[in-house]
Amino acid sequence: MLLFCPTCGNALQIEEDRQMRLECPTCPYIFKVTRKISTRNYPKLKEIDDVLGGEEAWKNVESTEVTCPTCSHKRAYFMQLQTRSADEPMTLFYRCAQCAYNWKEG
């Protein structure tokens, strides 16, 4: 597919008048598109690791009295991780003991 004008080298622009075509903005060159693209190929995405370590990281953690923002349960498990530079405070991660919702503070 042409992306640049073969006459002057400028990028072609898409024009949808009566039919799809590519036009040069500076010279009279026009390229009529004869077939329509009907399928797309999407790249396979990488699997991402759970930042907090998955379910295994939540075993043997302590719990505290804090209200869950989704179900209002009064107990949640927590862990502290250093997510920013060393001179910044640690980030508190919570998991609701009832609905397993995760949230953070700090």
Binding residues: 5, 8, 24, 27, 68, 71, 96, 99
Helix and strand tally (H, E) in the chain? 0, 7
Cα(21)–Cα(35) distance, integer angstroms: 11
| Binding residue positions for Zn(2+) | 5, 8, 24, 27, 68, 71, 96, 99
Dihedral angle computed from the Cα positions of residues 71, 75, 77 and 82, in that order, rounded to the nearest 10 degrees: 80
CB count, 10 Å around CB of 76? 22
Residue 6, beta-bridge partner list: none
